[in-house]
A and B are shown apart, each in its own frame.
Chain A
Amino acid sequence: MISIFEREFKHFFDSTIGMMVVGVFLLITSLFLFVFPDSSILLSPYVSLDIFFDLAPSLFLFLIPAITMRSIAEERQDGTLEVLLTQPIRSFELIVGKLLASWTLVLLALIPTVAFYITLYHLGDPKGNIDSGAILGSYLGLVLLALSYCSIGVFASTIADNQIVAYIFGTLLAFLFFYGFYYFSLLPVVVGQIDELIQMFGMDYHYRSISRGVIDFRDVCYFFSMVAFFVFAAILMVERKKQ
């Protein structure tokens, strides 16, 4: 698993996709936080990172499938999957190695955003007048959300033989699981009846819950269940294509 992780992670930087994803994420979030007047925290009377935590899931929706789309699809396209699967590596190790490499890259993109928190901490009046607990919870939510998106993306990559198809499918699945259930819950036939139950299937519901700063075991469990489900589905797909 370690060899898969190392090679995958190194490839992100050999192919510049790693720098590209980290750069685009930081550029867009910085623009929204400090430059664009409608969302700039410098012009806001309140010290809050809500803009960042609202924006990040949407950005991840487009950036994470770009990281994961190649993970299995490219190996299959280039024939290297044939070599990997004839080594003493289990499909589980292959999928988890790929997943962890993609997730680590996303975490790498998140690390510099701690500077946003430090900036706000110093901008507060009095200094440090900021809800650090909620920010910590939001970061945890974002980290778990990124892991779920990565698992969806790796799964999409096992289904498609083509990277573009893997990207589109990954984005669509992630969109459905993040926003889809919320929008379904707004349908008139379910409003007032099972709308909250439907919302609970969506990642958005649990992300918002964690972002409040209260870490509920059920929310954490939801994200890990999502990851386990998509990892299992990805393993099944790899095994099925051997048949």
Chain B
Amino acid sequence: MSVVVKDLVKHYGDTKALNGLCFEAEKSTITGFLGPNGAGKTTTMKIISGYLTADSGVVTINGISLSEDPIYGRKKIGYLPENNPLYPSLYVPEYLKSMGKPYNIPQLDKRVQLLMERVGLSDHQHKKIGALSKGLKQRVGLARTLLHDPEVLILDEPTTGLDPNQLVEIRSLIAELGKEKTIIFSTHIMQEIQAICQKAVIISQGKVAANVNVKEIDIQNSLKQFEFEFANPISVESFKDLPEIVEIEFVTEYKVRIGTPNERAAKMALFNVAAHLKNPLMNINTLQTNMEEIFHKLTQ
């Protein structure tokens, strides 16, 4: 089930939040939605979910326009807003059952139990939502979006504020869901896009700045970049003919920047140079990823 967003325009007073935004999210694909704060990510997601109406433009799901049949869209979409609003006074299964009723789900109790198992909430069914940790609340939110088995998931920064363990768990859950559903997923974390998304839509000032295939970027620009800082001045000759180093740039008389497809071999070569010259290595910095570079170029 594909989601097509065409020429979306949205104003908040005099401010133009979206300025003719167009993109397409394909079936069984996780589309990463990237952009600086205020670029229009959340507004776009709210319009796709049906919470906001656009001033002009169309959102279609499987060719059916949401403005013409909003209830169809709401049945097909599961939407997790940015701050994951919940009812803290309700118990987890009670909340899920209550939120599932408008969808007329057959055997709702069974579905709720199944989802709680799937997102890892079975041990917390006797707790009120207010008593859960942020990671568990995020799972409750995700379970809620999955209640009616939607074909499209709109997740607005679902990993924000999670600790590293929770981050990994939620990411892997989203990646698993992405095998069968169309997911539009916004985040600020580039590594997250590279780890779980197949496509990335970068937006800036309410427009699509780039629509890229994440895997292709990795293949085309598969070089990893590092900066090595030595204790004493270095000479160009010492770094000639090193294996696995494709790019080399001398930043200062102490610092050298290298690009390599093989991180381990390149580091070993640099350590050998340092040992051979008796010039201790003081610092090694991993430079930003390719996605980050693209993001900066397109959004500044």
> A residues near B, CB below 8 A?
2-3, 6-7, 11, 14-15, 78-80, 82-83, 85-90, 242-243
| Distance in angstroms between the alpha carbons of A82 and B42 in the assembled complex | 12
Which chain A residues lie closer than 8 Å to B144 at the CB level? Answer: 83
Contacts A82-B46, A242-B51 given: A11-B74 contact, CB under 8 Å? no
CB distance from A84 to the nearest CB of B (A): 9
* Contact call A87/B74, Cβ cutoff below 8 A: yes
Question: A85 with B51: in contact, given A14-B89, A79-B81 (CB under 8 Å)?
Answer: yes
The 0/1 profile, CB within 8 Å of A marked 1, for residues 81-109 of chain B is 10101110110000000110111000000
| Docked CA distance A86–B148 (Å) | 13
Q: Chain B interface residue count: which class?
A: 20 to 34
A-B contact pairs, 6 of them (CB 8 A): A14-B89, A15-B89, A79-B81, A83-B81, A87-B99, A88-B71
Contacts of A88 in B (CB 8 A): 71, 74-75, 102-103
**A85 to B74, alpha carbons, bound, how many Å?**
9
Q: Which residues of B contact A15 (CB under 8 A)?
A: 89
Contacts of B99 in A (CB 8 A): 3, 83, 87
Q: Is the CB of B79 within 8 A of A83?
A: yes
Closest CB-CB distance, B43 to chain A, in whole Å? 12
A-contacting residues of B (Cβ < 8 Å)? 46, 49-53, 71, 74-75, 77, 79, 81, 83, 85-87, 89-90, 98-99, 101-103, 144
Q: Is the CB of B71 within 8 A of A86?
A: no
Total cross-chain contacts (CB, 8 A): 55
Pairwise interchain contact A3-B79, C-beta atoms closer than 8 A: no
**Chain B residues, CB < 8 A from A3:** 98-99, 101-102
Known contacts A2-B101, A3-B101; A86/B79 CB under 8 A: yes
Chain A residues closer than 8 Å to B87, beta-carbon distance: 7, 11, 80
**Nearest CB in chain A: distance from B108 CB, A:** 11
The complex places the Cα of A15 from the Cα of B128 at a distance, in Å, of: 14
- Check if A85 sits within 8 Å of B101, measured CB to CB: no
- A82: chain B residues at CB < 8 Å are 46, 51, 81, 85
Interchain CA distance A82-B144 in the complex, whole Å: 13
Distance to closest chain A CB from B59 (angstroms)? 13
Query: Given that A87-B74, A88-B74, A242-B51 are contacting pairs, would A78 and B89 also be in contact in the complex, using a CB cutoff of 8 Å?
Result: no
Identify the closest chain A residue to B78 (Cβ): A86
Task: Tell me if A242 and B53 are in contact (CB < 8 A).
Answer: yes
Residues in A neighbouring B89, C-beta threshold 8 A: 11, 14-15
